[in-house]
Amino acid sequence: MAVQLDARPPVAPAPRPTRPGLGNRLSRFDTKYSPYLFVAPFFLLFGVFGAYPLAYTFWVSLHDWDLLGAEHPFIGFDNYTQLLADPDFWHSVVNTLGIFVISTVPQLLAALWLANLLNRQLRARTTWRMAVLIPNVTSTAAVAIVFAVLFGREFGMINWLLDHVGVSAIDWKANRFAAWVAISTMVDWRWTGYNALIFLAAMQAIPRDLYESAAIDGAGRARQFWSITVPLLKPTIIFAVIISTIGGLQLFTEPRMFNSGTNAIRGGPLRESQTVTMYMFENAFAPHYNFGYGSAVAWLLFALIAVVAAINVLLLRRLGGGSRKEVSR
């Protein structure tokens, strides 16, 4: 008689799985696939309006593509080599970066300061907070037209005011640096409030006890701002910088509307305020109708934005690094 040492207690064989009912199958399908269906609209739209134009633009940039022409011969990277040696393109890059720097830096600092003010106990707080967003909801074109008139050489209000304090009239449109400044004020006027609200939202998530203990330790308002608020806001600041980089380097409406008259897309007779997007438009559409070359400009602009955004993020990481540790200690 053998002893079955490993005898297992008798177990009833598992019941064969019966065919799942319709409801059951639907429910499994539901849990498995419906999330994909829910996120699908974004990707569908992105595919149609984002990825496809991107790929198509690249395809176009490899051709000698006269917008009206019936034939578009393939020319490889000729457009790019030509573009890299094109002084007018680099001129527009310098303009764009110049306008970007003198608009974005003061803008983000002002937004930070404004958010800090709005974060205090104020009467009619919501009203103030809403008010800073007003410039952002006005139409860019309308703003640009108004500013273009304000910055007029002969009939502009700014020159009129300058005249009262004894400064002689500045030809805002014909002087490269003056044009940058004028366009930057438009950008700042429009976007400072927007960024301030983003900063404000992030500030409100900072625990109040940090400030309380800092106050007990004897830190003043300014010290609290630089040692608590700013470091804890770093992710938000990085977000704002990236968004501003993308927007700033694609600047089009403001400089385009700032210039008016014949061939305004050129940004002045010597391209004083022509940004890269304007240069792209000038080549892809009037007066050159060279779609391939314009597309190459678009791709280089894409690369430029990626590089500048990366540089900004790296710089910010480094800048904020030390003080953050101090706070979290």
Partner 1 sequence: MLTFTRRRLAAVALVAATALLGTTACAGGDDEAAADGPITLTVDVFGQFGYADLYQEYMASHPGVKIVERGTGGNLDEYSPKLTQWLAAGKGAGDVVAIEEGLLVEYKANPQNFVNLLDHGAADLKGNFLDWKWNQGLTADGKQLIGLGTDIGGMAMCYRTDLFAKAGLPTDREAVSKLWPTWQDYIKVGEQFTAKKTGASFLDAATNTFNTILLQTAGNANGYSYYDTDNKLVVGSNPAVKQAYDTTMDIIDSGLSGKYGSWSEEWVSAFKQSKFATIACPAWMTGVIEGNAGAGAKGKWDIAQIPGNGGNWGGSFLAVPKQSKHQAEAIELAKFLTSAKGQIGAFKAKGPLPSSPQALEDPAIVDSKNAYFSEAPVGKIFAEGAKSLKPVYMGPKNQAVRTEVENAVRSVELGKRSPEQGWTDAVANAEKAAAK
Residues that bind partner 1 (CB under 8 A): 23, 26-27, 30, 34, 37-38, 40-41, 44-45, 48, 66-70, 145, 148-149, 152-155, 171, 173-174, 259-266, 269-270, 281, 283, 285-291, 293
Cβ of residue 79: shortest distance to partner 1, in angstroms? 11
**Residue 166 backbone phi and psi in degrees, to 5:** 85, 15
Choice between 185 and 259, CB closer to partner 1: 259
Choice between 11 and 155, CB closer to partner 1: 155
Choice between 77 and 226, CB closer to partner 1: 77
Cβ of residue 17: shortest distance to partner 1, in angstroms? 19
Cβ of residue 76: shortest distance to partner 1, in angstroms? 18
- d(Cα 196, Cα 245) in Å, to the nearest integer? 16
Choice between 48 and 109, CB closer to partner 1: 48
**Residue 214 backbone phi and psi in degrees, to 5:** -65, -40
Q: Residue 100's closest CA among 295, 296, 243, 287?
A: 243
Choice between 237 and 257, CB closer to partner 1: 257
Instruction: Tell me: cis bond preceding 287? Omega within 30 of 0 counts.
Output: yes
**Residue 279 backbone phi and psi in degrees, to 5:** -65, -40
- d(Cα 51, Cα 36) in Å, to the nearest integer? 19
Choice between 66 and 227, CB closer to partner 1: 66
| DSSP output for 23-76 | HHHHHHHHHHHHHHHHHHHHHHHHIIIIIHHHHHHHHHHTB--BTT-S---B-T
Q: 324, 234 in Cβ contact below 8 A? A: yes
Cβ of residue 137: shortest distance to partner 1, in angstroms? 24
Cβ of residue 203: shortest distance to partner 1, in angstroms? 36
Cβ of residue 51: shortest distance to partner 1, in angstroms? 13
The CA angle 191-318-110, to the nearest 5 degrees, is 25
Sign of CA dihedral 210, 213, 216, 219: negative
